[in-house]
Amino acid sequence: MNLLLLDYEARVSEIEVYFAFLADVVAKGAKLHYPRARKTKQAAISEDLVKILKANALLILYNLVESSIRNGLNEIYDSVKADKVQYEVLRQELRELWVHDEFKPDPMRLPENNAKRVIEMLELVISSKRILFDSKLLPISGNLDAERVRELSAKYGFSHQTTRSTKGGYHLTRVRQERNNLAHGLKSFKECGRDLTLDALIEIKRQVVLYIRQILKNIQRFVDRRQYCVRGQRARTA
């Protein structure tokens, strides 16, 4: 298994640990135990804390989504760099992305410097210098759901097709929305977790994990087959 998927499975394992704990609390009525107290003491976990734990599960799932997609796109960037791909060999979608990133809007740039920047970019293309992408400019900022993943697949050129078992990743929308509600203070953790059942969370987790795993496999296939290059073209060794 490649490093991209190994890292993903490691993150999924962390999530499974959290959900196992959540199941102990919700389904099995786990209690707090205080072994250092003078007398053996136990206390029930409050309903408010249970709601907070449920809400936090959605934050953990969103973190999985964003970190995994970020790692997948970085895998494409790293492969383009390692393969020393030139502009003329780069597939059209990535050419457009590179131009957009290199000529990013800058309100402080003087008009005459716009022309300079264009000339610099043209010289890079004409001289067949290898193309480098800046991972700091990845188009990811707390807005990832299945629809956004499909947009990214069109922008980069990898497939967004997944099996029926993922149901198109539709639960990612709720994960994104609730993550943003929590991040921007639109909901408290108690409010977010109030109406979440354990069964619903487990189903959301199952679908998110399946969907992102298949998207990462699509990205890895894209890289392994060097589909970041124009079909039939190979990068020239610099």
Would you say residue 159 lies in a domain? yes
Would you say residue 230 lies in a domain? no
Instruction: Give me the residues paired with residue 86 across strands.
Output: 130
Q: How many domains does the chain have?
A: 1
Q: Are 203 and 211 in contact (CB under 8 A)?
A: no
Long-range pairs, 158-165, Cβ under 8 A, ≥24? 158/76, 158/218, 158/219, 158/221, 158/222, 158/227, 159/218, 159/221, 159/222, 160/215, 160/218, 161/218, 162/210, 162/211, 162/214, 162/215, 162/218, 163/210, 163/214, 165/210
Q: Which domain holds residue 20?
A: 3-83+138-224
Q: What is the pLDDT along the chain (238 residues), one digit of tens a residue?
A: 689 999 999 999 999 999 999 999 998 989 888 887 777 788 889 999 999 999 999 999 999 999 999 999 999 999 999 999 998 899 999 998 988 887 776 666 666 666 676 777 787 777 777 888 989 889 888 889 999 999 999 999 999 999 999 999 999 999 999 999 999 999 999 999 999 999 999 999 999 999 999 999 999 999 999 999 987 565 554 4
Taking the model in full, what pTM does it have? 0.89
Concatenating the DSSP letter of every residue in the chain gives --HHHHHHHHHHHHHHHHHHHHHHHHTS--EEEETTSSS-EEEEPPHHHHHHHHHHHHHHHHHHHHHHHHHHHHHHHHHHHHTT-BTTTB-HHHHHHHHHHHT---TTS-HHHHHHHHHHHHHHHHTTPBP---GGG-S-SS--SHHHHHHHHHHH-------GGGGGGTHHHHHHHHHHHHHTTSS-HHHHHHT--HHHHHHHHHHHHHHHHHHHHHHHHHHHTTTTBPTT--PPP-
Would you say residue 25 lies in a domain? yes
**What local confidence, expressed as pLDDT, does residue 105 receive?**
60
Would you say residue 9 lies in a domain? yes
Would you say residue 131 lies in a domain? no
